[in-house]
């Protein structure tokens, strides 16, 4: 098997034997971050070309002395990586199959979106008719970042109705604002185009072909094998472990366009390697390029279609090239890919434990990425 190629089964060539020496700097930063309680545990995977250069667990599930140790195979709540790995992948496949036009108006594909909250305002109705699929993917639809829909709605259908009814806060295409609500709507739209729920579609069309240990729900008997994300005293009244952290996704039964996926770092790394080698066997290379390129609008926005790209300052650090794309997750997860170097970096943590107030990961993550780029370049 020549370098830069995947095994026929879809596995990366394991080249982790030298990881302790090669990535000593990045590993030390993660150990120090755990000691400083930026997060109790983490898993890191690094790929270049067809090689898995690093895959390792750090720390424990919680800060308790008897807490389980994180293994490299530990499964995490991927949070908003769901937007890129599941919802955007589904949109890419539908686009390639001619079932989804990026500039199609949402109201043409999902007529219920036109009604919104039943507002009689002419401006609001007119705005809703301008929203396109591309705008939902690029977070420029005018929908707000977040709403606590779960406080007033329960069940998947009620939550979808509530999401469709959220008022636009700006005219579509005039403002870039990262929006969970937009991806809940997009999730419903692509499910309608696919003719089935996204968990079933993605399992068959994305996760199984690449042999990824990524899924939308964890069997209850395996919950304790997943690091907890939060002690939720306001909504669920319990420790959230093995079930989705995001309250809106929870109210939807765990399957949503914006959150809900669980997976291990090695599987996320294999997904990244698929994109970095041109998308095969899932996508065409031109589709990957289209969806991961900055849109530039509105106002020079750096958002791609379902992905983000580096902007100063960036959680990808200071050394990723301009041909990079990635995504973050609220629970402390991230995936960044540098197409110029063929480099993929997956970092999964539960920085939200025991609550979501700790933001120390924002200082740790860029330094880890810089250390990884240095290690790869100086190998």
Residue with tokens 């686009």: 95
DSSP string across 6-64 = --TTSPPEE-GGGHHHHTHHHHHHHHHHHHTTS-SEEEEEEEETTEEEEEEEEEBSSSS
- Residues in Cβ contact with 333 at an 8 Å cutoff, skipping those fewer than 6 apart: 76, 77, 78, 79, 80, 81, 347, 348, 349
Tens-digit pLDDT profile for the chain (379 aa)? 222 333 334 568 999 999 999 999 999 999 999 999 999 999 999 999 999 999 999 999 999 999 999 999 999 999 999 999 999 999 999 999 999 999 999 999 999 999 875 656 688 889 999 999 999 999 999 999 999 999 999 999 999 999 999 999 999 999 999 999 999 999 999 999 999 999 999 999 999 999 999 999 999 999 999 999 999 999 999 999 999 999 999 999 999 999 999 999 999 999 999 999 999 999 999 999 999 999 988 877 889 999 999 988 999 999 999 999 999 999 999 999 999 999 999 999 999 999 999 999 999 999 999 999 999 999 7
Distance CA 262, CA 205 (A): 17
Name the residue among 217, 224, 206 with its Cα closest to residue 268. 206
Greatest extent of the chain over all pairs of C-alpha atoms, in Å: 64
Amino acid 348: pLDDT: 99
Helix 285-292 / helix 89-96 crossing angle, nearest 10 deg: 130
Cβ atoms of 358 and 364 closer than 8 Å: no
pTM for this structure?
0.95
With both helix axes pointing from N to C terminus, report the angle between 24-35 and 361-377 in degrees, rounded to the nearest 10: 170
Q: Are 207 and 195 in contact (CB under 8 A)?
A: no
Please name which of 367, 319, 371, 372 lies closest in space to residue 344, comparing C-alpha atoms: 372
Residue 308: count other Cβ atoms within 10 Å of its Cβ: 23
Spatial distance between the Cα atoms of 343 and 267, rounded to a whole number of angstroms? 15
Q: What is the pLDDT of residue 117?
A: 54
Structural contact between residues 81 and 333, judged by C-beta atoms closer than 8 angstroms:
yes
Whether the bond into 356 is cis, omega within 30 of 0: no
Structural contact between residues 202 and 86, judged by C-beta atoms closer than 8 angstroms:
yes
**180-194 and 89-96 helices cross at what angle (nearest 10)?**
40
**Angle (nearest 5°) at CA 215 between 103 and 143:** 35
Shortest CA distance to 74 belongs to which of 249, 206, 223?
223
CA-CA distance, 135 to 188, in Å (whole number)? 15
Cα dihedral sign for 340, 344, 345, 348?
A: positive
**Rounded distance between C-alpha atoms, residue 141 and residue 171, angstroms:** 7
Spatial CA neighbour of 369 closest among 330, 340, 326: 326
């Amino acid at each position: 098997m020549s370098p830069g190629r995947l095994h026929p089964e879809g596995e990366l060539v394991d080249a982790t034997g030298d990881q302790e020496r090669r990535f000593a700097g990045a590993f030390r930063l993660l150990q120090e971050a755990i000691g400083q309680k930026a997060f109790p545990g983490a898993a890191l995977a690094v790929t270049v070309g067809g090689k898995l250069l690093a895959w390792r667990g750090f720390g424990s599930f919680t800060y308790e002395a008897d807490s389980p140790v994180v293994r490299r195979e530990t499964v995490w709540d991927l949070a908003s990586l769901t937007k890129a790995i599941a919802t955007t992948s589904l949109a890419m496949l539908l686009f390639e199959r001619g079932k989804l036009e990026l500039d199609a108006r949402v109201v043409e594909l999902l007529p219920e979106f036109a009604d919104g909250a039943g507002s009689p305002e002419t401006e609001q109705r007119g705005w809703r008719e301008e929203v396109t699929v591309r705008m939902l993917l690029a977070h420029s639809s005018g929908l707000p970042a977040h709403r606590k829909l779960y406080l007033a709605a329960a069940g998947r259908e009620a939550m979808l109705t509530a999401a469709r009814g959220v008022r636009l806060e700006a005219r579509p295409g005039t403002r870039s604002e990262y929006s969970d609500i937009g991806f809940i709507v997009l999730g419903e739209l692509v499910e309608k185009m696919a003719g089935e729920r996204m968990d079933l579609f993605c399992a068959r069309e994305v996760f199984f072909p690449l042999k990824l240990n990524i899924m939308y729900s964890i069997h209850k008997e395996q919950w304790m094998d997943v690091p907890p994300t939060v002690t939720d005293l306001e909504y669920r009244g319990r420790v959230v472990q093995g079930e989705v952290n995001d309250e809106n996704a929870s109210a939807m039964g765990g399957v949503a366009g914006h959150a809900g996926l669980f997976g291990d770092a090695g599987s996320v790394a294999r997904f990244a390697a698929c994109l970095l080698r041109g998308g095969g066997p899932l996508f065409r290379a031109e589709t990957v390029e289209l969806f991961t390129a900055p849109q530039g609008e509105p106002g020079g926005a750096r958002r791609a279609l379902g992905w983000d790209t580096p902007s100063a300052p960036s959680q990808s650090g200071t050394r990723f090239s301009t041909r990079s794309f990635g995504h973050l997750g609220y629970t402390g997860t991230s995936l960044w890919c540098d197409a110029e170097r063929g480099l993929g970096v997956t970092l999964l943590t539960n920085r939200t434990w025991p609550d979501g107030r700790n933001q120390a990961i924002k200082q740790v993550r860029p330094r880890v990425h810089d250390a990884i780029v240095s290690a790869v370049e100086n190998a």
